[in-house]
């Protein structure tokens, strides 16, 4: 006799809303003006992990809306130009969404290269818009101080992809 197989249905709360709230909370905590050994806390762009992982998990109409809200939250917290990070996050989401068929099932090293390229795209957009709005380029050292911690967040993106990629067999 064959036993019924339980299907684990993953809803948008598990793979969109909860990670977005965690991302916003961590961003808020890291933006506090605390100095440890005379150094400020790093300010990685944590929603970039979500912008990379969500189109690989499952294309959704809700994900770009949440990314836009997270981008506006980043602009508010980090003091950037309004819409700057929303544009950068949506650009990363669209690039990964269009290359989704290539990226599905790839090795972790390939995903890291793509994550690095997407970080480069997001920070290039942010750098160019900041340069145009401010009338002068921002500090390269400050940019590197934000890019490196963001690149170190790749294991979280990979974990998110591996956890929810096969969560719902209806989308295979």
pLDDT band at residue 13, thresholds of 50, 70 and 90? confident
**Res. 58: pLDDT tops 90:** no
Taking the C-alpha atoms of residue 44 and residue 100, their distance in angstroms, rounded to an integer, is 24
pLDDT for the residue 122: 97
Average predicted confidence (pLDDT) for the chain: 89
pLDDT for the residue 29: 92
pLDDT band at residue 9, thresholds of 50, 70 and 90? low
Give me the sign of the Cα torsion angle 114, 120, 124, 130.
positive
Taking the C-alpha atoms of residue 67 and residue 122, their distance in angstroms, rounded to an integer, is 13
Domain segments of the chain as ranges: 12-167
């Amino acid at each position: 006799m064959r036993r019924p197989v339980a299907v684990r249905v993953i809803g948008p709360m598990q793979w969109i809303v909860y990670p977005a709230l965690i991302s916003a909370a961590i961003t808020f905590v890291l933006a506090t003006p605390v100095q440890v050994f005379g150094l400020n806390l790093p300010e990685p762009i944590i929603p970039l992990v979500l912008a990379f992982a969500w189109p690989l998990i499952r294309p959704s109409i809700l994900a770009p809306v949440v990314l836009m809200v997270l981008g506006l939250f980043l602009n508010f917290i980090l003091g950037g130009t309004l819409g700057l990070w929303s544009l950068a996050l949506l650009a990363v989401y669209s690039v990964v969404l269009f290359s989704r068929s290539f990226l599905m099932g790839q090795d972790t090293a390939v995903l890291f290269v793509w994550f690095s390229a997407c970080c480069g795209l997001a920070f290039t957009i942010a750098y160019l818009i900041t340069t145009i709005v401010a009338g002068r380029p921002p500090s390269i050292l400050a940019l590197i101080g934000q890019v490196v911690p963001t690149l170190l967040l790749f294991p979280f993106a990979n974990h998110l992809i591996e956890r929810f990629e096969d969560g719902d067999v209806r989308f295979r």
